[in-house]
Structure 1
Amino acid sequence: MSFKLSCVGFAVCSALASVPAVAVAEDAGVETANIERISVMGSRFNDYKVGSAAGAMRGDIDLMDTPQSVTVIPDFVTDEQLARNLAEVLSNDSSVTAGSEKWNRQQFSIRGFALDSGNGFLVNGHQHWSHYVQPVETLQQVEVLKGPSSMLYGQSGPGGLVNMVTKKPTYDRIFDLGFDTDEYGSTRFQMDAAGSANEEGSVRYRTMLVKQDTTYWTEYQNGENKERDRLLTFLTLDFDLTDDVTLSVKYDNTSDKAGLDSGAWLYSSGDKIGQVIGEEGKIWELPWAFIDINVVNMGADLQWHINDDWQMKLGYNHQQYERQRFGSSPTYTETPENGYKVKPFDRHDDWQYKTAYVDFIGNFTTGSFEHQFLIGANMLDYYYQQQAQYTKDAVVVMPGQSINPNVNYQNATPKNPSEYHHYGFYIQDLITLTDSWKALAGVRYDEQKKDGAGNNAYAVSPKFGLIYEPTDFGSIYVNYSKSFTPKSSVVESKDKPDVNDGLNLKPEYGTQYEIGTKWELFDGGLLMTAAAFDINVENRVITREFDQPDENGHVQITSQEGEQNHKGFEMGAQGQLGDSWFVTSSMMYLNAKYKNDPTLDGKTPIDAPKWSANVWTRYEMTEELALNFGAVYVGERFADTGNTIVKDAFVRFDLGATYNWTYSDTEMSVRMNVKNLFDTDYLDGGSYKEVTIGEGRNIGLAFEAKF
């Protein structure tokens, strides 16, 4: 169709981007004791461009010296977009594709590989259990690390990682109040306060409070809208114990209760294949279904500047995650008007995630070579226990009909807890060979111990990179890196005896080769990047069922065979194109295939589009008024592993405007955003049994006051 040509054109054009410039003023000749910290406020600074990503190299190394594709999404951009969740933040990077949002979880893929809830996400470099909608109000920036990152973070997928960096305490006083709403009646109140707790500034704080009540556009079969109620509290403190030692402590609590939605259904056969079953926006879960989550994070980080060349970083975090899921488990059918099956359940889950790390970072010289050296270790202790009660038999209901769920998880016996311990040791060296050449070498050893025979895993993950800098503002790099994801042993179920029951599965390994380039243009105001990559994964787990049981009664076999290969290229730009024009954008081409697979050979994974792109711009009409325009393009994707159900490509346009003014020394702003400006119908992430329907046009209004 003719639209395809314009989509590709948009994908290429949206690779252009911009960022505001940063001005730094410094007074000379003033005694240290009399130096006054000055905060320069204004809209014309380069808030679209960030120079480093702490997660990429476990240190503050410039992105130009990082032989890896990294996208940093600053909070300035996502605040402009009135982002409400991590999916809206990550839409600013086209290498990230949204997946299913079933049961109020947001799932993602990077370069076509799904991010695991347990090892695909980090908060300030700590592994993070992400089985819930991540709060974004506390984030200073989000870093998308492309490709295998096991050398620094251990078990993780081949596509990359998402590192969420939280806001820090400040020396200067901050007190901001914000409120936003939309046409559905959703509201969000925010308070952000920071500053020094004593006159010397040796104790600093940052605290945030967010109260959100969301009314969704989707509704249950009886006409009731899905709703969500969330309360977030956040507190972090910095203590300067000495001139060289700083202790940071952090606490946050998310209480999040919402109606349950297991996703929409698409026809999988016939003339209507790929179309939505039933009325769009209708939820198949019964209206009493809900999910109630409470997450607490408590942690501390210590930074010690040993001398001018060496520093030590030490951190610990304990994440306590509790969830009650009271659901109806609707069963997919293409004829729900004739009735569909539900099987109510009540389930309580308890996850405990304990993480810790210690890093020694140093700069030294050997001969004519300069070294930026890292040696460290990290650990993860995982605990999980489930308590659940399920109804014995499924019940058939008609659309709009409800039943009384007679289940209570407290009546069930808790299952035996699942635990494992993960340890890793790593060493990395970024070596300056000449004025134009740098080399990176690193290696990591991992060990995972889990209860039960055959559940221990060991892995060595190397990483190599080479950087050539032909000018002071440009670099070209190549890298080689590996990822690994431990697998447990095969455990057969009662109704499906397995030939390989008890087999100890090998870890899944991913190998990437990447070549890329980075350029800072317009006096450093615009960062442009490009990268080509080839990622291959082996030791995939495959389960096949027999048509008839074999002579020993086995009905299936689980083994490790086949590969998954994803190759492509991506481009991006963040920065400033003119005095008043700022842009961030990216695009990606992806060719993702299964290889040597007995059932999926040559097929493409679910939600892996060939083309994707995004752009978000800011144009400052005056000192007070700024306009925004954005667009997101996602190409055709498959909704099933057999590649028979296609979700069409779409382009979604967004529009926004901000007006700033000052009243009685208080800076104020009002913002209006229109998401999905042309009310485009589209299908977002998820398979045909749990797809997310794209939200229609939604007008949002926000007010902020900085006292």
Structure 2
Amino acid sequence: MFTIKKSTILVAAALSSMAVHAHQDAVQEENMTVMGTQHGYQADNVSAMKMEMSQLDTPGVIAVYDETLIEEQGAATLGDVLKNDASISAGNTRRNRERFYMRGFELNPDQSYLRDGQFHLANYALPIELYERVEVLKGPSSLLYGKSTPAGMINLVTKKAQGDFHLNVSQELGAHNHTKTTLDVGGALNSDETLRARLIGSTAKKESYRRHKDGSAVESERMVGALIVEADLGDRGTVRLNYDRTKDDGHIDMGSAFFQNGDLIGTKEFVWDMPWAKRHSTVENYGVNLDFELSQNWMLTTGYNRQNVDRRTIESNWGKVFNESSKKPNYDPKTQTWKVMARDTFEVFKVDTAYLDFKGEFELASMQHKLLVGTSYVDYKKTDQQDKKGTLGKLSINDNKIIAKPTDLDYRKGKVNEFERQTLGLYVQDYVEINQQWHALAGVRFDQEKNKDETHNNVLPKFAVIYHPSDESSVYATYSQSFEPKDPVAAKYKNAGEKLDAERGELYELGAKKEFFDGLMLVSGALFNIEKNNLVYDDRDTNTMHQDGKVRHRGIELAADGQVTDSLSLSSSLMWLDARYLDHPRLEGKRAKDAPKFVLGAWANYQIDDKNNFHLGARYEGQKYGDPYEKFNKPAYTLVDLGYTHRVALNDSLDGLVRVNVNNLFNEQYLRGGCNHNAMYGDERTVKATFQINL
């Protein structure tokens, strides 16, 4: 059983009454034909499927959060967008790198993210201002993209150059000295609009309410710049060039520390890290994409992207601040002191990705086929150096003293470590329209991952059946697999160097979708069962690594997205999840870490008139555990957000916009993700104002 707070019930009732009242009005209105591919918050087709497929034809759950929703909510990070999805819960942000869990599985930054359908290393604060929408692919995506968790993947779709000239300038001001300035300008570079460009730039600064021991604030600063150029190749294709650079600097905050029973150590505002513990990262992406029509029925799409990541991290703590099971815990609860250390790490990542797809439509054996044949390649290189010091001294949590950074701390003293892997994938997928009601999808992928020590070969099938009871509905059943290659056993274990097989997942999913209000609203539901085998775990008694663990995550997802009336748009989702270890020497029967049993969320936009919009959102997240031993309890919480947008015509060609967003309206205290006995407190009530001019 779960308990929903009064604020959740009030918000749900308000949203329901708005929707019912609006629907009653809509029944009396004359039907209208709506042009375009976006209705409210409901997307007609999904780019991550690599072919044109409507939501009704897609045998799985894919949630799409578009630019309209992102702007209404004033989203500054990917986490601000993904909070709309009930299947996703937040992980830690210790080094300003957001982590997430989907359907109870962790989304790893080196295998769970895509950018325009290509592998993307997401180990930095992703600049949401560069993306026009975020697509959440539920379930294994290994058929099209190779290595991935069994939960799914995140696809970030970049903004495109447009033919019409536009100039948007916005300024955000908010709590904790938050400022953000954004410029977005673009249009055609020639008279016939066959050459187009877009330039995006932003700079942002923010403080946290949390404070170091000396009273100084935790600060962050980010600068983003991007250039997109598109050119038409006659009437048959388009080539797109892109470059962007993100520079992110700020303090490190490992979050609050807790005893195993959940009691907070120190205060909510206390920062364990020293003021000199900082991160500096620079990320560059540049690439080219080509879409070319080979014939009336065949299309070629190909692309290449290079990603460079330089990251320096200077730390004063790592690991757990306090761990009851440790013989020498870092924090001593008797003296209320802890050890301060120092570590300087510099990492360089270079990732080359490329793909080549052939897509065609044809008739065979009186059935319509949509065929995809493709290949993808990823070359991942990492180089790192590290220098670290032992205990610099001890500090008390009860005073304002700090320990200075060692003057001789320098990563260049450390050994240079290099790692490289190449991944090659070959895949074929056929979507068959057997008749008007019955459709099927079948595919197989061969994937090979190589490094200097070993080679992993994997063959992955996928099969789905879709039945259309009507033109406005579909029912589907899907089976698919995932794989996650593992590195050899680390040197600290007795069986060091032993090779490990890939961890493998299997998904069985049954779902249904139906459109309402002339296709403007999509309601979907899914039952899923995911089992992950070959789970790697450590045996503490023998100090060895084993690989025979098993977990099972099963649940229900419901969603309603779209436009209820001309005035009301709604995005909502619900998930019930049972995520447990099935085979594990210490965790059998236990729930997975940071996997709430029940999550419910909704966001509504009501257009009062052509100048004013009112926004209302809420998210209820049920109780979860901060560790896999079911000891560190994280209570359930409810967040309510409000927003208001006012537009004004400054002259015939210039429009102005003012938006105010209030997040966490009732100032709810809640815990986000973390590392076992460490956790991040969510933001308190914050108010942010946006001023925008559009030409």
Q: The TM-score by the shorter chain falls in which range?
A: over 0.9
Q: Which residue of structure 1 lines up, in the alignment, with residue 469 of structure 2?
A: 470
Q: Which residue of structure 1 lines up, in the alignment, with residue 148 of structure 2?
A: 156
Q: Work out which of the residue numbers 309, 312, 337 in structure 1 matches 2:297.
A: 309
**Partners of 1:509 and 1:411 in 2: CA distance:** 39
C-alpha distance 423-10 of structure 1, shift in aligned 2 (>3 A)? farther
Q: Work out which of the residue numbers 651, 655, 658 in structure 2 matches 1:670.
A: 658
Alignment of 1:393-404 (within 5 A): 393-399=391-397, 400-404=400-404
- Measured after TM superposition, the shift of residue 434 of structure 1 is 0.6
Q: Which residue of structure 1 lines up, in the alignment, with residue 516 of structure 2?
A: 521
**Partners of 2:430 and 2:402 in 1: CA distance:** 62
Q: Which residue of structure 1 lines up, in the alignment, with residue 422 of structure 2?
A: 421
Alignment of 1:70-149 (within 5 A): 70-149=62-141
**Partners of 2:15 and 2:332 in 1: CA distance:** 41
SS at match of 1:152: helix
SS at match of 1:231: strand
Q: Deviations over 1:443-485 (max 9, x none)?
A: 0000011112xx2111111110110011111111010000000
- Measured after TM superposition, the shift of residue 335 of structure 1 is 2.8
Mapped pair 1:638 → 2:638 = no
C-alpha distance 505-410 of structure 1, shift in aligned 2 (>3 A)? closer
- Measured after TM superposition, the shift of residue 509 of structure 1 is 0.4
Going by fraction, where is strand more abundant, 1 or 2? 2
- Measured after TM superposition, the shift of residue 130 of structure 1 is 0.8
**Partners of 1:337 and 1:102 in 2: CA distance:** 26
Q: Structure 1 stretch 337-346 or stretch 628-637: which is displaced more?
A: 337-346
Q: Work out which of the residue numbers 302, 313, 320 in structure 2 matches 1:325.
A: 313
Does the 8 A contact of 2:184 with 2:200 survive in 1?
yes
Mapped pair 1:574 → 2:574 = no
SS at match of 2:417: coil
Q: Deviations over 1:175-225 (max 9, x none)?
A: 101111112221000111121111111111111001101122222122211
C-alpha distance 9-143 of structure 1, shift in aligned 2 (>3 A)? same
- 1:457 maps to amino acid: H
Q: Work out which of the residue numbers 356, 366, 369 in structure 1 matches 2:367.
A: 369
Mapped pair 1:652 → 2:639 = yes
SS at match of 2:679: coil
Mapped pair 1:265 → 2:254 = no
Q: Work out which of the residue numbers 30, 53, 59 in structure 2 matches 1:61.
A: 53
**Partners of 2:683 and 2:33 in 1: CA distance:** 39
Does the 8 A contact of 1:267 with 1:688 survive in 2?
no
Which TM-score applies when normalising by structure 2? Answer: 0.93
SS at match of 2:257: coil
**Partners of 1:182 and 1:11 in 2: CA distance:** 25
SS at match of 1:657: strand
Q: Work out which of the residue numbers 257, 262, 276 in structure 2 matches 1:288.
A: 276
Q: Which residue of structure 1 lines up, in the alignment, with residue 326 of structure 2?
A: none
Aligned length: 671
Mapped pair 1:556 → 2:543 = yes
- Measured after TM superposition, the shift of residue 6 of structure 1 is 6.0
Mapped pair 1:215 → 2:210 = no
Mapped pair 1:201 → 2:193 = yes
**Partners of 1:125 and 1:198 in 2: CA distance:** 29
SS at match of 2:79: helix
SS at match of 1:262: coil
Does the 8 A contact of 1:22 with 1:46 survive in 2?
no
C-alpha distance 410-645 of structure 1, shift in aligned 2 (>3 A)? closer
- Measured after TM superposition, the shift of residue 576 of structure 1 is 1.5
Q: Work out which of the residue numbers 673, 681, 692 in structure 2 matches 1:685.
A: 673
Does the 8 A contact of 2:632 with 2:677 survive in 1?
no
Does the 8 A contact of 2:40 with 2:570 survive in 1?
no
C-alpha distance 288-378 of structure 1, shift in aligned 2 (>3 A)? same
Q: Work out which of the residue numbers 540, 547, 550 in structure 2 matches 1:545.
A: 540
Q: Which residue of structure 1 lines up, in the alignment, with residue 325 of structure 2?
A: none
**Partners of 1:75 and 1:323 in 2: CA distance:** 29
C-alpha distance 647-10 of structure 1, shift in aligned 2 (>3 A)? farther
- Measured after TM superposition, the shift of residue 336 of structure 1 is 8.7
SS at match of 2:263: coil
- 2:141 maps to amino acid: S
Does the 8 A contact of 2:339 with 2:391 survive in 1?
no
Q: Which residue of structure 2 lines up, in the alignment, with residue 35 of structure 1?
A: none
Does the 8 A contact of 1:7 with 1:633 survive in 2?
no
Q: Work out which of the residue numbers 503, 508, 511 in structure 1 matches 2:503.
A: 508
Q: Which residue of structure 2 lines up, in the alignment, with residue 456 of structure 1?
A: 455
Q: Deviations over 1:600-625 (max 9, x none)?
A: 10011110000011111111122211
- Measured after TM superposition, the shift of residue 25 of structure 1 is 6.6
SS at match of 1:106: coil
Q: Work out which of the residue numbers 265, 269, 274 in structure 1 matches 2:262.
A: 274
Which TM-score applies when normalising by structure 1? Answer: 0.92
Q: Which residue of structure 2 lines up, in the alignment, with residue 30 of structure 1?
A: none
SS at match of 1:481: strand
Q: Deviations over 1:285-334 (max 9, x none)?
A: 01111100100001101111001100000110000000010110163336
Q: Deviations over 1:95-133 (max 9, x none)?
A: 011111111111001100001110100110111111111
Does the 8 A contact of 1:48 with 1:582 survive in 2?
yes
Q: Deviations over 1:514-567 (max 9, x none)?
A: 010111100111111100100000000011122xxxxxxxx4121101201000
Q: Which residue of structure 2 lines up, in the alignment, with residue 348 of structure 1?
A: 346
**Partners of 2:334 and 2:255 in 1: CA distance:** 14
Does the 8 A contact of 1:251 with 1:297 survive in 2?
yes
- Measured after TM superposition, the shift of residue 368 of structure 1 is 1.3
Q: Deviations over 1:315-369 (max 9, x none)?
A: 1000000001011016333639621112111111101111100000000000210
SS at match of 1:129: coil
SS at match of 2:544: strand
Q: Any gaps of 5 or more consecutive residues in structure 1?
A: 27-39, 547-554
Does the 8 A contact of 1:348 with 1:409 survive in 2?
no
Q: Work out which of the residue numbers 242, 267, 288 in structure 2 matches 1:300.
A: 288
SS at match of 1:77: helix
SS at match of 1:89: helix
- Measured after TM superposition, the shift of residue 263 of structure 1 is 1.5
Q: Which residue of structure 2 lines up, in the alignment, with residue 177 of structure 1?
A: 169
**Partners of 1:92 and 1:398 in 2: CA distance:** 40
C-alpha distance 141-62 of structure 1, shift in aligned 2 (>3 A)? same
**Partners of 1:161 and 1:436 in 2: CA distance:** 29
- 1:639 maps to amino acid: G
**Partners of 2:153 and 2:14 in 1: CA distance:** 24
- 2:417 maps to amino acid: N
**Partners of 2:332 and 2:346 in 1: CA distance:** 31
Q: Deviations over 1:554-600 (max 9, x none)?
A: x4121101201000000011112223111101010000000121111
C-alpha distance 641-659 of structure 1, shift in aligned 2 (>3 A)? same
RMSD: 2.2
- Measured after TM superposition, the shift of residue 651 of structure 1 is 0.2
Does the 8 A contact of 1:51 with 1:63 survive in 2?
yes
- Measured after TM superposition, the shift of residue 47 of structure 1 is 3.5
Does the 8 A contact of 1:11 with 1:613 survive in 2?
no
Does the 8 A contact of 1:447 with 1:459 survive in 2?
yes
Does the 8 A contact of 2:311 with 2:346 survive in 1?
yes
Does the 8 A contact of 1:11 with 1:614 survive in 2?
no
**Partners of 2:171 and 2:15 in 1: CA distance:** 33
- 1:490 maps to amino acid: V
**Partners of 2:291 and 2:417 in 1: CA distance:** 39
- 1:427 maps to amino acid: V
Q: Structure 1 stretch 10-19 or stretch 521-530: which is displaced more?
A: 10-19
C-alpha distance 186-519 of structure 1, shift in aligned 2 (>3 A)? same
**Partners of 2:563 and 2:417 in 1: CA distance:** 56
C-alpha distance 337-260 of structure 1, shift in aligned 2 (>3 A)? farther
Does the 8 A contact of 2:482 with 2:505 survive in 1?
yes
- Measured after TM superposition, the shift of residue 8 of structure 1 is 9.0
**Partners of 2:690 and 2:678 in 1: CA distance:** 32
